[in-house]
Amino acid sequence: MSKELTLAVLLSPWLDISSQHEASIVVQSLELDSRKVATGSTFVAIKGHALDGRRFIASAIEQGANAVIADACESHPHGELTLVDGVPVVYLDDLTSHLSALAQRLYPLSHNKLIAVTGTNGKTTITQLIAQWLELVEKKAAVMGTTGNGFLAALQVAQNTTGNAIEVQQTLAQLEQQGADFTALEISSHGLVQGRVKALEFEVGAFSNLSRDHLDYHGTMEEYAEAKFSLFSQHLCHHAVINIDDPVGRTWFEHLDSAIAVSLTPSRESRAVWAQQVSYSEAGISLAFNGFYGAGRFTVPLIGEFNASNVLLAMTVLLSLGIDKQQLLETASSLKPVLGRMELFATEGKAKVVVDYAHTPDALEKALQALRVHCQGKLWAIFGCGGDRDTGKRPMMARIGEQLADNIILTDDNPRSESPQAIVQDMLKGVMEPSLVTVEHNRFDALKYALDNSSTDDIILLAGKGHEDYQVMAEQTIHYSDRESAALLLELGL
Residues contributing to the annotated binding site = 32, 34, 119-125, 160-162, 188, 194, 196, 389, 413-416, 464, 468
d(CA 371, CA 378): 10
Sheet containing strand 343-345, edge to edge, reads 343-345, 352-356, 459-463, 379-383, 407-410, 438-439
Question: Which residues are annotated as part of the binding site for meso-2,6-diaminopimelate?
Answer: 389, 413-416, 464, 468
CA-closest candidate to residue 469, choices 460, 458, 459, 478: 478
d(CA 371, CA 180): 36
Q: At what angle do helices 393-404 and 420-428 cross, to 10 degrees?
A: 60
CA-closest candidate to residue 382, choices 489, 484, 306, 459: 459
What is the β-pairing status of strands 26-27 and 148-150? unpaired
CA atoms within 13 A on the CB side of 158: 21
Phi, psi of 130 (to 5 degrees): -60, -50
d(CA 165, CA 104): 9
Question: Which residues are annotated as part of the binding site for ATP?
Answer: 119-125
d(CA 358, CA 396): 13
